[in-house]
Every structure is written in structure tokens, then in C-alpha cells.
Structure 1
Amino acid sequence: MNSISDINLNNDYRHNCKINEPNLVILKCGEAGQIILPDTTPGGTTATIATVTIDTSKFCNPCTKLEFTSNIIATPTSPTAPVVGTLNFQVFRFCNDQQPIPIGGQFSLAVAQATAVPASTIFTFFVCDCNQCLNGCCTYAITVTAAGTIITGNIGVFAARLAAITVDNPE
């Protein structure tokens, strides 16, 4: 074998990795969560709404796709009062004893309901994380923040769920 072939073998993740489980995949669904942001909730109010924990210790180079889904229900406080507010959603990763790391950007949903009838919206997004903590568990959490100055009316985030699929990424 020539020296170039030796270098390629040494850099091949399968030869550097200490596991022998090709095509390892984890699919994990977190528990459903919910929160209600009542009328006059001040801007900046933040809550964790969904989490999922995955064990990446058997992966050489884990890459995870995280998908969040929820049902947003806007309910007026009176027949003539509108529901107005913006919700910002953010994914964070927690590994070992490290500080939370934001994954991807914020996802925003503007709620504007002028009628006295409650309105429902399905809100979903996904992000990928290929820079995970090795040799341990990662917990991903979704936070929701009331943006702006104040929420008018009641906005509920229901059936909020975070699902993760993790694969070994050869690159």
C-alpha cells in the first residue's frame, strides 16, 4: 500500500471510531408539553415547553434532526378584544455540565386574531445539529418567549412535542 492510501485509511472515521455498529440510528420522541400565556403577559417571558434526551455515546460523529410541532390557540378575553402577540421559539442543547447552546436561529409566530372566536394554528419547524457532545447524553429543549411588550388575549401552546432522529454522519 502506498503512503496516500495509509493516510486515507487513518482519516476514515470507521477506522478511528471504537464502535462496530454501522448504520446506528436513534429515533426519540419527547413528552408533550403545553403553556398558556395569559392576557397581559409581559414581553420577555420565557418558558421551556418541550424536551428530548438522546444518548450519543455509541456514535462516532452524531448528526441529529430535531422536529418541533405544536398547536397554537388564540382566545380573546372578551367579544370585542383582539388577540395580539408574537412568540419566539428557540432550540437549546444541554450536554454534561456545560451552559446551554442555541441550535439554529429563532422561529417566530405572529398571532393576530381580531374576532371573538378562538383560532387554532399548527406550528412546526426543524433544525439539524451535527456538532453534538460525544460520549454522553444530550438534552434538547424548546423555549417559547413572548416577544414585544405585552400579549393581548390568551395564547396557548398545546401538544408541543420535540422529536429527534440521530444518525452517524460519515463526513
Structure 2
Amino acid sequence: MPDFKKPRHAIPCSADPGYDDHLFDEADFYCRRPRPKPKDHRPKKDVQFVCGTAVGLSLPIFDVAVASTSGGPSSSFGLVAGTVNLDTSGMAHPATKVDFSSIINFLINLNEYSGGLLLQIDFRLSKICDGHKVHLGTWTYKRSISIGGALSPGVQLQSVPGFSLQVDFREPFNFSFCECDPCPAGCCTYVVEIVNVNSFSIASASLTNVSISALAVDQ
């Protein structure tokens, strides 16, 4: 039987001693090899995430604006609840987001409860860059019950031996702020302050589980 040689189109991509050497040299021409994936030449975005410094506060219970009193770090503008430093000097067009969260706690005495109560807390976010302070926004927490109204399901009755019955109320409060700065100022400090507290029939109030963070992404 004559010795038939396999056609070139049947030559595999791997070496086979049954094929002639001169035909095997041309095997690469007929092999389909996987093409390399194109490289992504787009520049990677610069991203920064920073956790700030936050503290719990005992809030003064007055029907006036907060002054520089004890109960936490204070400034000439109010009680400082949290700060975070963010450096965007290496970014061309940074987009910044600041997140603030907390739990507001307050007590009322049932023997002093006249069917109405009020607690209003104003939070102000500011940005300090090169010693200049700019106010960015104000967020308000407000809880009120009119005369004759029932207590909210979120309250917890707390029995204190030797004293009257108290109601312990806890509620989360948080806000977010976003800005796109076409002219980044470098390293800035974002500050959350309590600038006003109004209350009626409130025994005590405090701020706990406070957290502040900042995220910057170069557009």
C-alpha cells in the first residue's frame, strides 16, 4: 500500500513525528492561536476613603441656641460632633461625598409629661480649607408630640427604683453630602457641629454611635 502523506491543512499545532519536517515547519501558518486581549490604556481613577474622628455628646437642654458649654469638644460655632480630613490635591476634578451617622437618645419623665414634648437638633456641615470656613448645609432632627398624642412605638419604658417612670427614646439620624469641586483646594477638614438645640418636656438628651467618613473620586 502506498504511503500517503497528510495534507497541510490537517497538520496540527503540536509536533507529530509522523509528519515530514518540511511540512511541520509550516504548521504555525495554519494554527489558530488565541489573540492577546487588548490592554486598557485608560488612566485609573484616584480614589480616597477616609474615616474621621467622632465623639458622643451630652446635649444641653435649653430652649436657646447651643453655646460653648461642657459635654464635648466645642468651638465658637457650637458642639463639634465629628471631623474628617480629606486631601484632594492630587486630583484634577474630585467628586466628594461625606457621610454622617449617629443615634439620638433622650429621656422624658412621665410624671412631668403633659401630653406634649419637643426635641429639635440642628446639625451643620462646614468645610475648612486654608483657614477659611465655608458652610455647606444644615440638617435638622425634630421629634414632637402634641398635647393628647400617644407616645411613639419606638419608645421603651424604663423603671427606675425610687423615682418616677421614665421613657427612653432612641432613633438613628444620618445624612450625606456630595460636591464636585472643579478647583480642588488640597487638604480640607469637614466638620459637623450641633448649632442649636430646642426642647420641651425633655429630661436629658445625648448623641451616641457617631461616625463620619469622606470619599473622594477623581472624575
TM bucket, shorter chain:
0.7 to 0.9
Alignment counterpart, residue 54 of structure 2, candidates 15, 32, 39: 32
Per the alignment, in what secondary structure is the counterpart of residue 152 of structure 1? coil
What does the per-residue CA deviation read over 1:123-163, in whole Å, with 9 as the maximum and x for residues that have no partner?
Answer: 11101122376352110000113344778321111121111
Q: 2:48 and 2:87 mapped to 1: Cα distance?
A: 9
Q: 2:138 and 2:207 mapped to 1: Cα distance?
A: 16
Structure whose alpha-carbon radius of gyration is higher = 2
Q: Which amino acid aligns with 2:102?
A: S
If asked which structure has higher relative contact order (CA below 8 Å, sep 6+), I would say: 1
Q: Does 1:121 align with 2:185?
A: no
The equivalent residue for 2:65 is 44
Q: Shift of the alpha carbon at 1:42? A: 4.0
Is this contact kept in 2: 1:50–1:160, CA < 8 A? yes
Q: 2:122 and 2:46 mapped to 1: Cα distance?
A: 33
Q: Spell out structure 1 runs of 4+ moving beyond 3 A.
A: 112-115, 147-152
Q: 1:36 to 1:119 in 2, by over 3 A?
A: same
Aligned length: 145
The equivalent residue for 2:39 is none
Q: 2:182 and 2:118 mapped to 1: Cα distance?
A: 37
Q: Does 1:23 align with 2:45?
A: yes
Q: Does 1:102 align with 2:135?
A: yes
Per the alignment, in what secondary structure is the counterpart of residue 193 of structure 2? strand
Alignment counterpart, residue 80 of structure 1, candidates 111, 119, 123: 111
The equivalent residue for 2:86 is 54
Q: 1:168 and 1:141 mapped to 2: Cα distance?
A: 22
Per the alignment, in what secondary structure is the counterpart of residue 91 of structure 2? coil
From the two aligned structures, give the one with the greater strand fraction: 1
State percent identity of aligned pairs: 23
The equivalent residue for 1:18 is none
What does the per-residue CA deviation read over 1:20-66, in whole Å, with 9 as the maximum and x for residues that have no partner?
Answer: x7300011111231111143x24210311101001111111111111
Q: 1:94 and 1:137 mapped to 2: Cα distance?
A: 9
The equivalent residue for 2:74 is none
Is this contact kept in 1: 2:129–2:185, CA < 8 A? no
